[in-house]
Every structure is written in C-alpha cells, then in structure tokens.
Amino acid sequence: MSKPARRRRIRVSTASALPCRSILILLDQQRRLATYDAFVDTAAASVAEAGAARRPISLLVADVDHYRRLAENFGQDYAELVLHTIFDLARANLREGELVAHPGGDEFVALLRASASAARDVAQRLCAAVRGHLFPETDQGVPPLVTISIGVASAPDHGTTYQALHAAADAARVRLKSQGRDGAALASLPGHDASPRRLDVERFAGRGVEFRTLVGLLDDAVTGSPRAVAILGEAGAGTAALVRRLEPEVRLRGGSLVTGRSREQRVREPYGVWASLIAALHRLPGAPSGPWRELHHLVPVLAGDASPAGSRWGSKYRLLDEMSEYIRLVAQRRPLVLLLDEMQWADVASWDVLEHVCQQLDRERLLIALTFRTEPAYAEAAERRQALTRSALYREIGLPRLTRDEAKRWLEGAMHGQEVGREFLAFLYRHTEGNPLFIAQLLHTLVEEGALWQVEGRWQWTPVSELRFPIGLPALIARRLARLSSSTQAVLSIAAVIGDEFDVSLVVEAGAGSEAAVQLALSEGLTAGILRSSYERGGRGYTFTHMHIVEALVQSIPHERLRSTHQRVAEAIERRDRSRLSAIALHYDAASISSPAHIHALIAAEHAERVYAYAAANAFLNVAARNTSTPGELAEVRVRLATLAEIVGRFDETEELCDLAIEWFVGKGDARRALVLRRMRERARKELGQPARATLEALLSLDVEAQGLGFGEERVEILMLLSQAYGRLGNPKEAEQIAVESVTVAEATQDPTLLARALNRLAVTVERAAPQHAEEIYRRALAIFEIAGDLRGQARCHNNLGNIAAARNAWQDARHSYESSIALARASGMPDLWGMAATNLGLTFHRSGDYERAREYHGQALALAAAVRNSEFQLYALYNMAHVEWENHAWESGAELYEATASLAQRIGADDVEIGATAGVGLCRAESDDLTAARSALEWVRERMTRRGDWFQGREFVEALTIRILAADGEIDGAVNHLETVLPVAEETELYTAAWLTIVCGRTLLPRARQRVRPWIMRYASQVTAFGYADMSKQLNDLLRE
C-alpha cells in the first residue's frame, strides 16, 4: 500500500545553489527545514506552471529497501547514516534547480524538469549510485549491500496535480517492491496494465575489487594527492563503464567527471581527446578565462579568451603548459576526474600531453583515468603507456574476462534476483567466454528473438540444446542489427559513417530523412541498447554503445552507397561547422571527391603544424597528395612533405621527396625553388651517411649558384652546411671562417631566426678553442630564438650550452640544459634533437659513475636515432653505449658495439670516431686476453694516426691500447714513458680524459712501476672528487690502497 503523506518537518534541498527556476528553490536559500505543506505547495505550483507552459515535469518517490532490517542488524545510528548518504547522493546527482526532499523515515522525493522516460533514466542512475556506493564497514565487518526502489510519474501522462503524480509514483514504487525491489518503475498509464520489469542487462554486477580501488584513488585525489590510472582490458571488457560508475561518487564529493574519447580514424585528430576534454571543461561553471596564447588554436571555443600577444605559429611546449594550467585551474575549484577513453587510438601529441600533465601534477585534486585495449595490434601505443610507469602517481588496473561466478551474479541482477539455471549459465559462459560486451549482446539477442521471456514475473528460456547462434561477437551484432526495421538500419548506417558520436540535426542534414523519421529510428536504437544519449537529459546527442556496432553498420553499406554517404556527410559538416577540417577532408577523401578533399586536407595539415602535431600533418598532406589534380599541385604538396620530414628527422623521406619535386621546378625554370630543394637533399644525404667529401663538393657548387642568383637567405643555409662539412673533415679553421661568413650574410638578410641559426653554428666552431666566447654566442642566439618562438633553435642552444657546462665539469648546469633541450625537442616532436640531448645527458651520468642511468639515456638515444634513420646521430649513440659496456667490464658486448661503431663511422666518413672505436675493440680484446686481436687493432690504428696529430675524442683509447700492448710485450719503461708523455696533453684537453687514462693504465703498470705511476694516481685522485666524478674517485683511491 501507499504510504500516507506525513505532516512533519522535512529536509528540502535543491541540487545546486544556482537555480534555473526560482519557484523550485524557495525553501532552500539556507537549506533550512520546512513543513511538508510548504514543500507540497512549491511542488504543486511547479507542476501547474509546467503544465501551463507545456514543459515536462516528473516526480520520483523512493525509499530504502529493507530499511527496518538494516536498522535491526546494524543499529539505528548506522541506518540513519546510510539514509543521509543516500539523500546526499540524490542531491549531488540532480541538476541545478531540481528539488529533492526527505519527508522522514526512509523516504525521499524529487521533482525533475524531465519527461517520463528521462526521469526514469535519472531514477535508474540513482539506484545504480546507491547500489555501487561503498558504505562504511560495520561492527560486523563487511558493509551491507544497500539498494533503493523508485516510482516515477510524469505530468500530464499520470496526472496534472502534485497529488495525482505522488499517488501514481508511489503506486509504481509499491508494485516494484513486489517484483524484486532495487530499481525504478514508471507508473502505468490510466486504464493500462502495468508493464512487467524488463531484463536489466545494463545492471552490471562485478568488478567490485577494481571499483573499490578506483574509489580509493578518487579519495586520494580529492585530498590533494593527484593520481593517474589506466584501466586495461580487451574490447568489450567494460573499461570505460567501470570509470563511469564512479560519476555518482565524484558528484557526492562535489566534483565533476569529464570524458574525452580518442577515435579510430585513418588520420588521428591532433590532440583529439584533450581538445574534447577542454571544450567540455569550458562548459563548467567558473571555467578559466585566460588569456591563452596558444590554447585557442586547439580549442576554438576559447578564441574569445585569446591573448592579443599570441604568436602566429603555435608553440607546442607553451601549448602543453597552457593545457596543464587550464586543468589545474579547474581542479582548484572542484575535484576533477578526467576520463581519457580509448587511448590506444590516441595520436602521438595526445600522449605527449598526458605525460606532460602527469609530470606537472603536485597537489591538484585530479584523477586521470585512461582506458586502453590490450590487443597486440596496439603495441606501439602500449609503449607510450609503459612510459607512464615511471611516475609515482600512476597505477594500472587490469580487467580480465568475467569469471563464471561474476557472470552468474550479473545475470541474477538482470533478472531481479531470480536464480539462473546451471545449463543456461553454462551455455552463456561457453558462448561468450566471459566477455561483458558479448554477454550483453547475447542477452539482448535472446530477448529479441523470443528465446528468453517472462511468465508471471519469472524468466524462462528455450532449452539450450535448441539455441543456435553465430560464432563470434561481430556476427552476433550483425544479426541483431538485421532485426531492426529497414528504415532504422538506414538511419543508423548514416550515423555510423558520421562516427561513434553524433547529433540528430547532422544526421538529418546528411540525408537520413525528416527529423521525425530520424527520431523514430533513434528511439528504436535506444530501446535495442544500440545507442545511448551522450549529453544530459533533453540533449540531442547520441553515441553508439560500442565501436563494434559502428563497424558492423559501416561494413553493411554497399561500396557505392558508402561513397555517396561520405559525400553527403562531408557536405553536411561543411555547411554546419567549417572548423571541422579533418572530418570534412577525410569524408571527401573516402567519397573520392578530389578537389574539396585536397583543399581541406591542406588546411587541416597547416592547422596540425600550427600545434606541432607533425604526425597528423604528414598524414593530411598524404591525403592532399592523392587528391591532387595537376602535377604542379602534387609538386607543392611534396615540398611541404619534404620540409616536414626534414623537421622531424626522417631524412630518407626528405631525399626521396626532394628528388621528385626538383624535376618539376627545374622543368618550370624556377631556379630558386629548385636550389632550396637541392640543398635540402644534400643535408638529408649528409644525415643519411654520405661521405663528407661528397657533401662538401656538392655544397660548394650550390653556393656558387646561390651567389649567382643573389639568393642571400639560401646562401646562409648552404654556408652553415659547408661549415659542418669542413668540421667533419677535420678542418676547424675553415669551418670557423665559413661560419663567420654565414653570420655576415645572415645579418644582411635581416631575418632574426636565420641569424640565430648562423650564430649557433659559429659558436659550435669556436667552442673547443674559446668556450667562454662560444657560450656568449649561444646565449645571444638563444635570446633570438626565444623571441621568435623557435623551439628547435632553443633546443639546439640548450644542448650546446649543456656541452659547455659539461666541459667545465658543471654537471648540474649541464643536466639542467640537457633536460631543457629534451623537454623542448620532445614536446615539439623533434626526435633527432631529443636523442642528441639524451646522449649528452647520458654522458653526464656516465662521468658521475651512474652507468645504469647512462645506459638508459644512451639506449633512448639509440632508439630515436633508429627511428629517424640519422646515421651520425646513431653513430654517437652506439659509441657511448660501447663506453658504458667498457665501464661495466662487459668486454664481449663492448667489443661488438665498438665494432658496429667503427663500421658506421667508416661508412659516413667520421675518421676520429672510427679510430677511437677500433682502439676500443682492441682494448676489449686485450681485457679478454686476446692479445692477437688487440695487436691487430693497434696496427691498424697506428697507420691511421700518421695523418692525425691533434687530440680528439677517442684518442685516449688509442693511447691506452698502445700502453697496454707495450706492457704485454714486457716494455714497462716504454709503457710508463708513453703514459707520462700523453697525460699532460690529455689533461690540457680535459681532466676526465687524463684521469681515465691513469686508471686504465694504472691497473696494468702500478704493480710493476709503483714509484713512477703512483704520483699520477695521487695527482688525479685529489682533483676528480671536486668535479663530481664519484666512480672515478673511488677507482683511483682503490688503486692507492693496493
């Protein structure tokens, strides 16, 4: 029976202190208590006003299931705590201006501005919120499972007065109690029988341990300990569903859960998941207002907050900082949970943002949850995810397939407590293997095909021996879709071409039919569980419940019709929102409509470059290339592709693209464009290992041509490359003179960025002879690069400043410079510079004796070198890896790495590295007692050293090998004499090198010439500690103790 209305003081609250309609919050200015009469008066007036305005309004009447038993088992105080928590959950999960009241006992009522179906959805979410809430443990241990039952009535369907709505909703609640409790029931229409309870497939039971872990991470975040967590599982495992279950808990704590989703596309949207997240955060009350110098390039809705001083081109490092700052500012106002869904499809830039944000977190009230599929196809993205494990705030939660017991609990919950037959459960589990999505789709299919039905409130099913279903989830989904009406299939197919998320008006505009016809089809999709609303109730947005459904719908469209659908979708998006450049370009491309595909892809590529999303820019340029209509258009696209490949260090692509474009511009008589491309090609060939002499000859010829054309800007580029070529050939004086000339020509061009690059090159040439002067030049160049917003130039300068600091043994300064260079290069997508700085940072750890950290950074550099196919870069990474193996006394692997280094150095003409690496092979062989191989290496080295009188990096290996062989041949005096001759020369170049030689040779010579060798050991032992060479200091002192 219905519970009578009680005349008592009740607690009345609105869901927010910011009302939409004042009539609904008359009683809640200070959350005071009011009489039931006052509540009824307010509710009655609201119902009447909504009726007059023909606006929907609904009433929820709810109570706690088995409340009396709860009080008897755990005490009245605990029961009241539960009741107050439920009231807070209800209040926190309603919209602003909606009234919720607690009349007393275990009841509460809520008045919503919503239709009957929308109100029922709200009620079901409230039931799920209570069901999933982790109530405090009791004296008896595990907390009880608490549920509620809610009846729903709406005006005018169930009455036009508050009293009529309350009676209808209360009757629905009472009926629900007799059908198993724990849920929401819509009141039956006058003159109609009550509908039986549906199979509640969405009531997922399970993942309790994982959910408790998530709630714990949320509580950490709310108290100012930010967290990041990855939810891992196969497709259909329910990773995002687990995080969405957290939303009521987030709201209970005064926070917001905001979702961004990566999408599976041929060209991944630059920063796609973050752009959607920040756009959603912007809709929250009190969103940060800027000004933003870069963020508005990515999120156009922030254009009104743009700084007038913003640079024309985006700076990715600054953009990442602004994104982090935006999120931090939001988290200052409220606890924040960011759901990054389907991160296996995220673009490279989105992963960069995630890593950057995690690195910046300190005391923000922020929980970042990312979902990730674990299939082998996503191995590349898994490597980016693995990088997060270095952060102390990062966790991972794996979601395996459901156990048979978990599947049983889910099915019994869906059947409202009815016990499941063993054979039926076995059939279900055998067919789905515990995949939650597969289980849900199979249950829907059973109901739709009449194999699972209700009789007098109990579920029955066809004997499992008679059930026949296709093997595999895709086939089952296709079978379900085929049962929809043909008109609904047609509408949903167009929606699927749009994407996994869409709105009604776009589907209509794309030719799916009238709005009424589209809404009818979408209603069928909602009823079938194919779709769900993607915005708050009353919204016009929808999303497919899983990408498998989108894929099945698109695959069902015949090829020609699919092309025409893509064209209609492209035209519809272009009419509605021209800013969606990538979507427009890709739909036109899929439709084979070349001209608009070409134009929009070029603009999309430019937009991607503006925010340093080079991978996306490259992909869009390739879309533009295949949609060109003339050879000239294709040549222009190839120039942009070549430039982009050069920026990111893919020099093999640069060379190939330049070859293809040069022919066109030469044929058209455009000598300047052809010259630029030929210079780019020579640089690419140099980086790919072309001998330095060949590079020099080609560049000298290009310089003559540039002078003849009066092409000053291009001359500077050529002169800088010439200076590098002379440096590689061991002619530092000529390298410096050419660099000075490049600065002079650059000053005449009045191009500050070009001048800064020329200055950077000049500093490199004087660095060894005049380091202080070089540092001054680097800092001048850095200031120009910073004003221009040139991150590549800044990264180079920071790396070079690190080299100067390292040369004077200022390790902290060096590491700071190298880390700045890595941050700039990594954020800007420049793996060549990133790897170079990583190599140098590894060297600082090497010299301080931290060989594990050194190996980590050298390995990172080696991987980056391989990725960009930069031979010179790869050479030094290999060389340094070999040095680490030497220090770890790994003679065999060290010899192999030195041999690989020498081979590569010979191929690209790096004479000093080839000599040093070959000597390294000899030293490793000598330590392995293979003196024959060591003597052979020394013989080759001596022959090459006849042409080298200078001290170069690696010569210490030559001298150490010479001394080692002399000692092995019994010539101790000759060995010591040689050591005493070379140590002063080495020390003049670098203390570290001299100390290293002393250690390596001292091990052999000290026992045989103690009086002559010991003073050298003492000399360096007293100096190296002050320079931070901890391991070297230990080795020298160990020698002294022998």
Query: What CATH number does the domain containing 214 carry?
Result: 3.40.50.300
State the average pLDDT over residues 154-170: 93
pLDDT digits 0-9 by tens, 537-563 = 345 789 999 999 999 999 999 999 999
State the average pLDDT over residues 909-920: 91
Q: Which residues contact 63 (CB under 8 A, 6 or more apart)?
A: 3, 105, 106, 107, 108, 148, 149, 173
Q: How high is the mean pLDDT of the chain?
A: 88
User: Domain containing 157: what range?
Assistant: 9-186
Domain boundary (381, 398, 415) is at 398
Q: Is residue 505 part of a domain?
A: no
Q: How many residues does this entry show for the chain?
A: 1042
Query: Please, where are the H alpha helices in 486-630?
Result: 486-498, 504-507, 515-527, 547-555, 559-576, 581-590, 594-610, 614-626
Residue 231 has pLDDT above 90, yes or no: yes
Q: 370 and 408: one domain?
A: no
As a whole-number percent, the residues of the chain with pLDDT over 70 amount to: 94
Q: Is residue 448 part of a domain?
A: yes
H/E stretch holding 13 reads strand 9-14
CA pair distance 985, 958, nearest whole angstrom: 14
CA pair distance 884, 876, nearest whole angstrom: 12
Q: Is residue 32 part of a domain?
A: yes
pLDDT digits 0-9 by tens, 584-639 = 999 999 999 999 999 999 999 999 988 888 889 999 999 999 999 999 999 999 99
Residue 7 has pLDDT above 70, yes or no: no
pLDDT score recorded for residue 621: 97
State the average pLDDT over residues 721-744: 93
Q: Is residue 641 part of a domain?
A: no
Q: 116 and 15: one domain?
A: yes
Residue 97 has pLDDT above 80, yes or no: no
Q: 283 and 171: one domain?
A: no
CA pair distance 260, 340, nearest whole angstrom: 5
Residue 99 has pLDDT above 90, yes or no: no
Q: Is residue 834 part of a domain?
A: no
Q: 117 and 85: one domain?
A: yes
> Residue 457, by phi and psi: left (phi above 0), alpha (psi -120 to 50) or beta?
left
Looking at the structure of the chain, the number of domains it has is: 4
Q: Is residue 272 part of a domain?
A: yes
State the average pLDDT over residues 878-906: 92
Weakest mean pLDDT among 161-170, 308-317, 719-728, 897-906: 308-317
- The residue with greater pLDDT, 872 or 498, is 498
Q: Is residue 819 part of a domain?
A: no
Residue 124 has pLDDT above 50, yes or no: yes
Pairing of strands 336-341, 256-261: parallel
3-class secondary-structure state, position 153: strand
Q: For residue 675, what pLDDT band results from cuts at 50, 70 and 90?
A: very high
Q: 451 and 314: one domain?
A: no
State the average pLDDT over residues 173-193: 90
Q: 882 and 1001: one domain?
A: yes
Residue 666 has pLDDT above 90, yes or no: yes
Q: 287 and 313: one domain?
A: yes
Q: 77 and 225: one domain?
A: no
Q: 385 and 408: one domain?
A: no
Residue 988 has pLDDT above 50, yes or no: yes
Chain-centroid distance of CA 979 in Å reads 54
Q: Is residue 620 part of a domain?
A: no
Q: 104 and 43: one domain?
A: yes
Domain boundary (130, 151, 186) is at 186
pLDDT score recorded for residue 11: 42
Q: For residue 415, what pLDDT band results from cuts at 50, 70 and 90?
A: very high
Nearest to 585 by CA among 261, 270, 259, 262: 270
Q: What is the token pair recorded at 337?
A: 């949970």
pLDDT digits 0-9 by tens, 743-775 = 999 999 999 999 999 999 999 999 988 999 999
pLDDT score recorded for residue 872: 81
pLDDT score recorded for residue 305: 60
pLDDT score recorded for residue 359: 82
Q: 393 and 408: one domain?
A: no
pLDDT score recorded for residue 867: 67
Domain boundary (341, 366, 398) is at 398
pLDDT score recorded for residue 480: 94
pLDDT digits 0-9 by tens, 25-79 = 333 333 333 445 677 888 898 899 888 888 899 999 999 999 999 999 999 999 9
Q: 394 and 408: one domain?
A: no
CA pair distance 959, 902, nearest whole angstrom: 17
State the average pLDDT over residues 108-132: 91
CA pair distance 941, 944, nearest whole angstrom: 5
